[in-house]
Amino acid sequence: MTTKPQTDLEEIKELSERARAYNESIDRRVEVKTDETVALTPEELKARNRRNLWIALSIGAFVLLVFLITMVKVKDGLIAGAS
């Protein structure tokens, strides 16, 4: 272990060196490869397409539901305002 730093600047430099050494040790343990691609099997592609279709249909149904509820509320507001 190192000796006790005499000034704040020396302490900051020592902490910075320790943090750098720690980060380098982590970098050596964890190798991250960012240029890899994943080739999906035909079954996986079919499953992904099916999931995407169901998600799209669900979003469409939600939008339609919000639209219909809004139209009912607007209609009720117009009828109530006409009275």
Return d(Cα 28, Cα 32) in angstroms, integer.
Answer: 10
Q: Among all chains, which residue has been given the structure tokens 């600047």?
A: 9
4 vs 76, residue with greater confidence? 76
pTM, full prediction? 0.51
Q: Where are the domains of the chain?
A: 8-82
- Residue 26 burial class via C-beta count within 10 angstroms: exposed 0-12, middle 13-18, buried 19 and up: exposed
55 vs 29, residue with greater confidence? 55
Residue 21's identity, in one-letter code, is: A
Per the rule left: phi > 0, alpha: psi between -120 and 50, beta: everything else, 32 is: beta
Give the least confident one: 6-20, 23-37, 60-74: 23-37
Tell me the pLDDT tens digit for each residue of 26-54.
766 666 667 778 888 999 999 999 999 99
